[in-house]
Amino acid sequence: MRLHECGAFLEWTTAALGSHPRVERTLKPSQIIGQIFYKNPIQFKNSTNATVSSFSTTFIFAIVPEYTEFGGPGLAFVISPNNEISVALPSQYLGLSSETNIGLDLNHVVAIELDMSRTIAVGDIDDNHVGIDINSPRSVTAASIGYFTDESEFKNLSLKSGDPMQVWVEYDGVEKQIDVTLYPINVSKPKTPLLSLKKDLSPYLYESMFVGFSLPTGLLVFSHYILVWIFKMNGKADELDLFRLPKIPWDDNNNKQGIKQLQRILALTLSLTGLTLFLVLVFGAVLISRKKRFVEILEDWEVQYGPHRFSYKDIFKATKGFKEKEVLGKGGFGRVYKGVLPSSNVQIVVKRISHDSRQGMREFMAEIATIGRLRHPNLVRLLGYCKCKHELLLVYDYMPNGSLDKFVYHQPNSSLTWTQRLKIIKDVASALFYLHQQWVQVIIHRDIKPANVLIDSDMNARLGDFGLAKLCDLGNDPQTSHVASTLGYMAPELASTGKANTRTDIYAFGLFMLEVAYGRRPIEVRAPPDETFLADWIMDCWDKGDILAAINGRVGVEAWVTLLAPDCGG
């Protein structure tokens, strides 16, 4: 694991510490190290009242993995009483703690973690998150990596993308609030922080503390780059000059390779004859490529599935060449496109699913054929499929009102009434009963949640993505385990065994009912601690005899009671 600079040389530059303490730092190339701190301690507390003063720091970093498909260690900005955290394990917890000192008050460590691995033991929310840690790697608050636009739209980012990102950590000593903002360097600083925490840091920090960075060592190869870093007490850190940023060596290597390739091409095409021949070849290659684009191979065993097959040419035209503006969303199984079949003008939805396992393709197609035969008014109908190389395209009916989660969370002005909520729950229950009990074989959904429930033009609920989890399992390496479910809806036994059944579906459906009824996600990371887990919170309300206290306030409690009374009266 390397924490190193991007530039030819290393140098410290410091302004006068005191009224304007500031540090800029680039790190040595190929320096195998777990922690690096500014050499001098910084005074954090006002000696007159012993409270932590305001401070601000910003840095630009990049994490470049050798293998992008794997997760790995992240990086943490650290405020520590020492310039070395000697009790920490080098390969765990970002080099901040060991098993024996997690959560101890005597640690006096505050950190902002940028983590690419999900450690269940400390409650990590996912494998791509930022968290505020105090004396423990268990974050006080955390959020997935991304940023908010000026229109309050959340944009996801990936730590292991290799792209440079800028981080601001700002503490207001008067308001006792710490804000963390992260964003790509090609956009302006967002107005809304990614994380905000009301917390007085005075009990956790000494008068003088060290500042720096920490990361664990490990077996996977990741390069961690700090391009520039500024720290300032009693004021906002200076804006960074992005035009003077050093380049990442990884980019330099790619540029050098590109230049060499260009030189070879230019050498071959110096003469007019060579250039003409090159253009002719390119033009011919384009024509051949366009013809091959729509060439499909129908294997012998695939004939039995013929009635369910669409041509790739029709799907390509329906989605206008899979243009970005036709994308409806990005789910756990791939991108989803809106389209119109050219032959019938019927609106459709197309899901692109990658499938790299050749030996499992026949079983994959058999599952699709089974799903295509399902008929129920509360299931999204699979119209057919298209197979092109190692990619499968699934074609579904188009649902004009989109997914249920948009109604529950994203459209406050058109909130569902309790009558509609109850009908939606009944619709999904009917679909699930059909999959479990009424079809010729049991079909496990594996991922029941509002995002997989579609609403048609008559506000009927239709369960979608049924069977897709199993389809993706067929494409996985049998030596690996894959739990196809969403955190928050996963039954305890599914998390431990990885085996889904009708009971794990019913568990997820129970959480789905609570979510629709109460208008809350199963896990709310920004909620008060006693309200983080929806099921636990409702059980607490039940135990207190105040079950109606948790109902979404946008619809009257009386309406909910009146609606349920006939169904609960026996």
Q: Can you say which residues are annotated as belonging to the binding site for ATP?
A: 351
Residue of 94, 105, 304 lying closest to 203 (CA atoms): 105
In a 13 Å sphere around the CA of 397, the CA atoms on its Cβ side amount to 19
d(CA 404, CA 302): 35
Q: Cα–Cα distances in Å, from 479 out to 273, 467, 482, 483, 531?
A: 55, 21, 10, 13, 39
Residue pair 166/240 in contact (Cβ under 8 Å)? The answer is yes
Active-site residue flag, 447 = yes
β-pair type (195-198, 110-116): unpaired
Tokens standing for residue 191: 């107005």
Give 261-265 contacts, CB < 8 A, sequence gap 24+: none
Calpha distance 252→258 (Å, rounded):
10
The pairing of strands 110-116 and 72-80 is antiparallel
Binding residues: 351
Q: Can you tell me which residue has the tokens 């983080």? A: 532
Note the residue count of the chain. Answer: 570
Q: For the purposes of burial, counting CB atoms within 10 Å of the CB of 92, is it exposed (0-12), middle (13-18) or buried (19 or more)?
A: buried
Catalytic site residue from 314, 447, 465, 473: 447
Separation of alpha carbons 330 and 322, rounded Å? 13
Query: What residues are labeled active site?
Result: 447
